Structure 1
Amino acid sequence: MTTTETPQDTGIGKELATGRFTDEMLAQMRELIGTELRTDACVNNEYATRLAVLRFAEGIGDDNPLWTDEAYAASGPFGEIIAPPSFIFACLGSVQVGWRGLGGFHAETDVTFHAPIKVGDKITARVWFDGFDGPTDSSFGGRRIKDYLRQEYWNQDGVLVARFICARMRFERGEMQKRRTSRTIELPHPWSDAELERIEEDILAETPRGAEPRYWDDVQVGDELDTLTKGPIGLTDEIAYVASGAAPIPRLSAHGVALRRYRKHPKWAFRDPSTHALEPVYSVHYNDYAARLQGAQIAYDVGIQRTCWQLHSLTHWIGDTGSVKAVHGQYRAHVYLSDVVRLGGKVVGKEIDADGDAVLHLETWAHNQREQNCMPGTATVALPRRAEGTV
């Protein structure tokens, strides 16, 4: 069997699958609405071990000692290390369902947080397909649909830790590829040495609020969050995120394990024409060739990776005694390798909510160097009060 025959014989080629929306596909997907999905191939961490939490925190660039330093955390509000709220994504990022041969982008995230994750907790994820909207026409990539997965994370005591609504755009790759040249920008971004030095100085100057409480009483509507900088995004940033246990859907694997999976599911993979190796569709996040097949310019970040940065920005600002109750984010434009993203936000409201918590409502953003808000969002955080019983 020759190399050129292999892709044809196995159903794996040098291109990503280029399926199209059909009435039959849409009917099949409607029949799946309400189905609970299998998660075995997508679970990365069941237990929040100290090293799993450390590896994840490092994978998103979050050095808050509340997640990583046992001595520091012992004197904190929980008396021990807890995981950053985004650790749920290191347990299970998401699951693929249906839409054979179509491309997909994570488009929007809604998460509510209900309990902290402590070291030793066992987290069980359950996922349901909640349906889809469309198809509708768009100038960005032709016809598309928006589908919804509901993901719930429960601990060993039967307590709901978090609920995550994952919305994805599905599109016909051929149409997305046709429009790729209309979105051409200069990549990698041509940073000067002086610009890079300023970026790194900003990053090194950032420190978490830490043990000093930020009181609800002291915050005013219009106050802005500290700026948190990520980048320039590099290949190792994406590798560190994957190695932390986050995102792969299904899990990334190698050699015979991967080959057997790809033979069973040929549309999960393509053959890289440069290395001749089989690569997963997920490699759009670190493989330029795959990213171009997806209709992008070069490799780009992971959607929920951006939400992890948003949560890092929030916990960085609220301090150890605050908590994140909810976040929302829309993924607008790719964050390409070489991009810099600056995250921030401002207070747009404050109240005592139905749970009796003193909360702030925030508008959040993530601006790249092209002055695009690549993740407009919102958040709700709870802070301690200086005097109980006062409003």
Structure 2
Amino acid sequence: MTEARASSRGADSSGRQETTLRSTIDTESLAEARRLIGYDYRAARSTIEVSADNTRDYANYIGSNNRMYLDPAYARSSRWGRPLAPPTIVGTSIIAPGLRGVQWIYGGARWRFHRLFGPGDVLAQTGRLVDAEAKSGRAASSMIMQKGVTSCVNADGETVVETEVYTMRIPRKRASSGGLNYAKRETTWTVGELDGFAERLLAQRRLGRGPEIRYWDDVDVGESVDEVLCGPLRLSDIALTRGTVVYGIIGGGRDENGGYSYMLDHYRRHPAHSYENPETGVTEHPHRGHWEQYMADEVGMPGIYDIGYQRLGWLCRVITDWMGDDGRLRALEGWLRRPNVVGDVTYVSGVVTEKRLADGVGTVVCALSGKNQHGEETVRGSAEVELLARGTDTEQLP
């Protein structure tokens, strides 16, 4: 295995170190990654206490004003008889063990929602690595894609949500031939453009279908899902992702959650998780490319970039607004296609691609897509939704 070794000392008493970085992704790298298949990933383990507070926070974070999440009294009068949580609030943990010093980039996820859940539920989340394979793409000549699965189980031992999570592993630029190859760019807007975005964001609050039933019978293949504006992306959006999802307050797992002596201990145990700030000399986490230009450059991003969970949350917001209170999201997948950097706006829309009816249950499949201000697709996905068919006795439905 070819490696660029800056130091073999590991961390010093301050936690500062120069870690071993891989200069290539090769057959030995792939063998190392595959050796960990079946590994029970400690960082994915989490007890998720779904509350009215974190449900509200997550709904606000994805831009949803759905009353099923935000108004308990209203939700109790619905078909479901209880408040619900946005389904993608859980199952977001990155599962990417091994490959010391190789950057992880969130690639996407595929959820299956087996049971409804909401405030008051306590879910036990676990995760494991199930596959690793070599890939190449437009932005990186070589990478390893790691596939993990998470499972969220309720207090009765019933599986509520299962997720497949995909993570790209790419050497950083400090290693020769490392990093992505995106050209740097900055986004600026005029006051008039920003005012226009603000007006549209406020108007979008009326897009949710709410209690008006969207019947399966009335949906046609080729029908559009209303477009929603998300953005411009701000550093505060990224900070909310870090605090709301990644730090495990909701469903991102419990790794690297702490400060000071906790992080010193963490970096000593996992030196490849640390990176020295060239300006201060302080050891920090390479995750900081989400809010610091230097690390974004080291990863090869075009600028300070988002945490990808949020874009998948936007897909969830768009489809749950479209289906209405009586719809049920059964599956959702989303794949990150290009970076979303600070200042970017994203236009998320969809189209109905399939519909079927079985045992009184109407199912609709929608393709979803998000494009930035340059017309580049930055996120792509699909959703499977159950809708009521006319004349159906809801009490007989599962």
TM-score of the two chains, using structure 2 as the length reference: 0.86
1:339 equivalent among 344, 367, 371:
344
- Other-structure match for 2:193: 195
Q: 1:260 and 1:160 mapped to 2: Cα distance?
A: 34
Contact 2:122 2:155 (C-alpha < 8 Å) held by counterparts: yes
1:131 corresponds to which residue? 131
**CA distance 1:35–1:181, shift in 2 (3 Å):** closer
| 2:372 equivalent to 1:368 | yes
Counterpart residue number, 1:109: 109
CA distance in structure 1 between the partners assigned to 2:23 and 2:177 by the alignment: 15
CA separation in 2, counterparts of 1:384 and 1:181? 45
Confirm whether residue 144 of structure 1 aligns to residue 143 of structure 2. Answer: yes
Asked if structure 1 preserves the Cα contact closer than 8 Å seen for 2:30 and 2:132, the reply is no
Q: Cα offset for 1:117?
A: 1.0
Give yes or no for the alignment of 1:30 onto 2:30: no
- Distance in 2, matches of 1:374 and 1:204, equals 23
Within a 5 Å distance, the mapping from 1:8-19 to structure 2 comes to 12-13=16-17, 17-18=21-22
Match of 2:278 in 1: 273
Instruction: Judge conservation of contact 1:213–1:320 (CA < 8 Å) in 2.
Output: yes
Corresponding position of 2:49? 47
Deviation at 1:380? 1.0
Supply the AA of the counterpart residue of 1:55. Answer: D
Residue-by-residue CA offset, 1:191-248 (whole Å, 9 max, x unaligned): 1222212211111111321111111111111111111211100011111222223447
- Superimposed CA distance per residue, residues 118-174 of structure 1 (whole angstroms, 9 cap, x where no aligned partner): 22111111212111112x444522221211101111111122111111112212223
Give the structure 1 partner of residue 182 of structure 2.
183
Percentage of matched positions with identical amino acids: 26
Q: Tell me whether 138-147 or 322-331 shows the greater mean CA deviation.
A: 138-147
> What TM-score do you get using the length of structure 1 for normalisation?
0.88
1:67 lines up with 2:66 in the alignment: no
Q: Distance in 1 between matches of 2:30 and 2:341?
A: 32
Question: Which whole-Å CA distance do the structure 1 matches of 2:147 and 2:286 have between them?
Answer: 20
Structure 2: gaps spanning 5 or more residues: 1-8, 247-251, 394-398
Does structure 2 conserve the Cα–Cα contact (< 8 Å) formed by 1:235 and 1:286? yes
Give me the CA root mean square deviation: 2.7
- 1:81 correspondence with 2:83: yes
Distance in 1 between residues matched to 2:93 and 2:32, nearest whole Å: 24
What secondary structure does 1:320 align onto? Answer: coil
Query: Are the counterparts in 1 of residues 94 and 167 from structure 2 also a CA contact under 8 Å?
Result: no
Would the aligned equivalents of 2:108 and 2:336 in 1 still touch at CA under 8 Å?
yes
Distance in 2 of aligned mates of 1:181 and 1:23: 20
Contact 2:19/2:272, CA 8 A, preserved across alignment: no
Cα distance change of structure 1 residues 95 and 182 upon mapping to structure 2, 3 Å threshold: closer
Residues 1:379 and 2:378 are matched in the alignment? no
Post-superposition offset of 1:52 = 2.1
Q: Distance in 1 between matches of 2:238 and 2:110?
A: 22
The aligned counterpart of 1:309 is: 314
State the secondary structure of the residue aligned to 1:106.
Answer: strand
